[in-house]
Amino acid sequence: LVQIYIESVLPLADVLTPNQFEVEQLTGIRIGCIQDAQRACRSIHDKGVGLVLITSVVLEGDDDEICLLASRGKASGGGAEGDDVAEQHLIRTPRLPGQFTGTGDVCAALFLAHTDRRGGRDGGGGGPSLAGALERVAG
């Protein structure tokens, strides 16, 4: 089923909001550090997805924080190989004890709403940047 998503669904998506486990499954990249998460975003962009938000990222050796990484691919695709990212932004927040259901869904909905109001996939709306949308999601 994962292979069907990779080959048939991702090329149709404008926005993808996977959590850490999901993006690891879709890309085959194990996320242990920020650079791994950035590489996973590039891999998703390479499949045609313009906007990626990885949620619930817990980095190795840092169990006290949880991260969000937002990434916008270059709309033109005209960069050199590996240079397909227009901007990336990371937000770290304290990790609260406990298990919470539905927070990724709420995060995805807020991110979609704020990026749409800010100009959508290509950022042409003249509003705040991807960083501004991410800050609004993280509150």
105 classed as catalytic: yes
Do residues 109 and 98 make contact, with C-beta atoms less than 8 angstroms apart?
A: no
The residue among 97, 74, 89 whose CA lies nearest residue 137 is 89
Q: Which amino acid is at 108?
A: A
Rounded distance, CA 103 to CA 53, Å?
13
Q: Catalytic residue among 36, 105, 116, 122, which?
A: 105
Active-site annotation, residues: 105
